């Protein structure tokens, strides 16, 4: 299991230009609910296709990237939050306890 650190706004262009759906997990390192949601995703990681890019956004360090995501894909900022993006469209998103790997996998 390998998270891809999302550390620059330039990476959002790469995500939007990818041929297949991309996943972003927005995580607050100061929030116990976010930590629990991240552990749930990690525990169920094998339910996702092996070749999928899964980006991890540290909201404490990179809040401006979260703001750019909210503006570009028209999804209000939440924490924790998962988004499945296909080009310029957000095809699925969930936050807090609604984050479920089985649901994410349906959109890949």
pLDDT, tens digit (0-9, with 9 covering 90-100), for 44-95: 988 998 888 899 999 999 999 999 999 999 999 999 999 999 999 999 999 9
pLDDT, tens digit (0-9, with 9 covering 90-100), for 3-31: 999 999 999 999 999 999 999 999 999 99
Q: What is the rounded CA–CA span in Å between residue 60 and residue 83?
A: 18
Burial profile 30-41: b = 16 or more Cβ within 10 angstroms, e = fewer:
ebeebeebbeeb
In the chain, where the domains are located: 4-105
Nearest-CA neighbor of 92 among 34, 14, 2, 23?
23
pTM of the predicted protein model: 0.94
Q: What are the φ/ψ torsions at residue 88 (nearest 5 degrees)? A: -95, 15
The CATH class of 4-105 is alpha beta
């Amino acid at each position: 299991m390998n998270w891809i650190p999302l550390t620059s706004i330039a990476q959002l262009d790469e995500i939007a230009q990818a041929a297949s759906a991309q996943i972003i997990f927005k995580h607050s390192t100061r929030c116990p609910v976010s930590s629990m949601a991240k552990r749930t995703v990690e525990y169920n990681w094998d339910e996702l296709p092996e070749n999928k890019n899964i980006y991890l956004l540290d909201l404490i360090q990179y809040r401006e990237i979260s703001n750019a995501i909210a503006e570009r894909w028209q999804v209000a900022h939440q924490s924790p939050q998962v988004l499945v993006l296909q080009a310029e469209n957000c095809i699925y998103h969930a936050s807090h306890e609604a984050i479920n790997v089985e649901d994410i996998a349906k959109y890949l």
